[in-house]
Amino acid sequence: MSVFHLVGVGPGDPGLITLKAAEVLERCPVWFAPRAADDSPSTALAIAAAAVDLGGKEVISHTFPMKKVIRGGEPDPEVARAWDEAAALVTERLAAGAEVAFPTLGDPSLYSTGFYVCEALLARAPETRIEIVPGVSSITAAAAAAGASLCQGNERFTVVPATYENGALARIIENSDTVVLMKVHRVMERIKELLAEMGLLDQAVLVERVGQEHQRVVHGLAGFDPAAGCHYFSTVIVRRRNTA
Ligand SMILES: C[S@@+](CC[C@H](N)C(=O)[O-])C[C@H]1O[C@@H](n2cnc3c(N)ncnc32)[C@H](O)[C@@H]1O
pLDDT tens, residue by residue, 161-213: 999 999 999 999 999 999 999 999 999 999 999 999 999 999 999 999 999 99
Q: Is the CB of 111 under 6 A from ligand 1?
A: yes
With H, G, I as helix, E, B as strand and everything else as coil, classify residue 231.
coil
Q: Helix (H) and strand (E) counts for the chain?
A: 7, 10
CA 206, CA 146: separation in Å to the nearest integer? 8
pLDDT tens, residue by residue, 100-147: 999 999 999 999 999 999 999 999 999 999 999 999 999 999 999 999
Note whether 119 and 6 are within 8 A (CB): no
Query: Does pLDDT of 1 surpass 70?
Result: no
CA 22, CA 77: separation in Å to the nearest integer? 34
Q: Which of 6, 138, 163, 207 to mutate to test the pocket of ligand 1 (most atoms within 8 A of CB)?
A: 138
Exposure letters 108-135 (e unless 16+ CB within 10 A, then b)? bebbbbbbbbbebbeeebeebeeebbeb
Q: Is the CB of 10 under 6 A from ligand 1?
A: no
What predicted TM-score, i.e. pTM, was given to this entire model? 0.95
| Atom in ligand 1 nearest the alpha carbon of residue 138 | 9
CA 240, CA 202: separation in Å to the nearest integer? 9
Find the helix packing angle between 43-51 and 19-27, rounded to 10°.
90
The residue that leads in pLDDT, 161 or 66, is: 161
Query: Hey, what amino acid is at 218?
Result: V
Reference 160, options 243, 65, 76, 235; nearest CA is 235
CA 34, CA 83: separation in Å to the nearest integer? 10
CA 155, CA 45: separation in Å to the nearest integer? 36
Q: Is the CB of 112 under 6 A from ligand 1?
A: yes
Report pLDDT for 242: 63
| Atom in ligand 1 nearest the alpha carbon of residue 136 | 8
Report pLDDT for 69: 86
| Atom in ligand 1 nearest the alpha carbon of residue 112 | 6
pLDDT, averaged across the chain: 95
Note whether 237 and 177 are within 8 A (CB): no
| Atom in ligand 1 nearest the alpha carbon of residue 215 | 20
What is the percent of the chain where pLDDT is above 70?
Answer: 98
Q: What domains are there in the chain, each with its CATH number?
A: 3-133 (3.40.1010.10), 138-239 (3.30.950.10)
